[in-house]
Amino acid sequence: MVSKKTSSRFQPGTRSYTMSRIRGTETSIERQVRSYLFSRGLRFRKNDKRYPGHPDVVLPKWRAMVFVNGCFWHMHQGCAKFSLPKSNVEFWTTKLTRNHLRDQEQGDKLKAMGWRVFTVWECELDARHAQETLQKLYEAITADGHSNEGVKDEQIERQTTRG
């Protein structure tokens, strides 16, 4: 039986090394969000392990938590940056679906604890949309002042079409 090799953009052995360099914390998009919020005067904790999902930004004064998600790893539906890999489809489908469901469960737990949960997607932080997205995030966090009444599930999204 002849094995059919698929073409890869990586040299043999490079894919494993490349994937090993991907980190779960201190990503450039997390730093971008934190830097903006800090410059606007908000103080927070980062990657707090006391809460489900270890939120990227925890703002206790505002009873708000921010998750900064990569479109691929968290299955951002309808996003150009998310598509299932064409090789090892069963593995990737299982892994990414599990990530997506875990995100939903953790968000539900946090809301049940009385936190407001915000999600910022990687594609919303590109050069053309970052300022608008970050401004909307800041306004959404501070909109309620110090009141903690009601639990909201808010997701910061551009009003314009993706592209």
Is pLDDT above 80 for 152?
no
Q: Which residues contact 105 (CB under 8 A, 6 or more apart)?
A: 52
Task: Tell me what the mean pLDDT of segment 15-40 comes to.
Answer: 83
Q: Note whether 104 and 110 are within 8 A (CB).
A: no
Lowest-confidence region among 53-57, 73-77, 105-109, 119-123 = 73-77
Whole-prediction pTM? 0.76
Q: What does the pLDDT read at residue 23?
A: 66
What is the tens place of the pLDDT at every residue in 135-145? 999 999 998 65
- Cα(154)–Cα(119) distance, integer angstroms: 7
- Cα(127)–Cα(107) distance, integer angstroms: 28
